[in-house]
Amino acid sequence: MSDVWKIAEQTNASDMYQITKSMLFGSEIMAANRLTNMCNQMSSSYDQIIDDQNEYITEIDAQINEIETLQKELDAKIREQEAERNKILSNAGNDGLSEEDEAKVNTINSEIEALNGDANAKIGSISSDIKGSSSKLENTTSKADIATDYGNTAVEKGTPLANTKDKRKSFWRKLSGSWNKSAEREAGKKAVDAGNNLLDQVETVKASEKEITKKTKK
């Protein structure tokens, strides 16, 4: 687990915001920037998770297509063998099958059994690969809880900052520039954007995990 996750695991987002704010003389800007930075680092980690999941889903789809192709080929070969067997049986006279025809029917039955065995072995092997490789994917449950906390808090704390209005330009405020609240708005907007982006990534990963679970249960 990278440093950002270790830090976030030990300190929830609200506490992180308050600690940063108190250490920097009540600066909401710096506290919001800290949340933004944490969310952005988590987002970078989520980018890799999403890439890994997308790559895995692509592999699963290819393997599922391979299974479906094997099944279709098996069905076609079996229908062909069954048609030949039925032809022999329908052409049998009143005395039944000759020894030669009976041997042919037995051979066809053996070939059908062999086809089923071979195809089932290949399909079983591919299915095992699908289920086995899914265990290599990272378990994101704990990260999802942490990321959701930080994402929601960044949006919560960033929204009022992003909506901060400039103060009335009094003489002294003009001299000091304290009327201008663009820094607050910028910090708030960055926090909201970072929080929403992280929350979107969490939902993307959850949706992918559901898709993977559905595909690997086939």
In degrees, rounded to 5, the angle at the alpha carbon of residue 117 between the alpha carbons of residues 96 and 114 is 40
Burial 153-174, CB ≥16 within 10 A → b, else e: bbbbbbeebbebeeeeeeeeee
Using N-to-C axis directions, what is the helix angle for 182-216 and 99-134, rounded to 10°? 160
Q: What is the pLDDT of residues 104-136, one digit of tens each?
A: 999 999 999 999 999 999 999 998 888 777 666
With beta carbons less than 8 A apart as the criterion, state whether 58 and 139 touch.
no
Q: How many residues does the chain have?
A: 218
DSSP 26: T
> Residues 26-75: pLDDT tens digits?
799 999 999 999 999 999 999 999 999 999 999 899 999 999 999 999 99
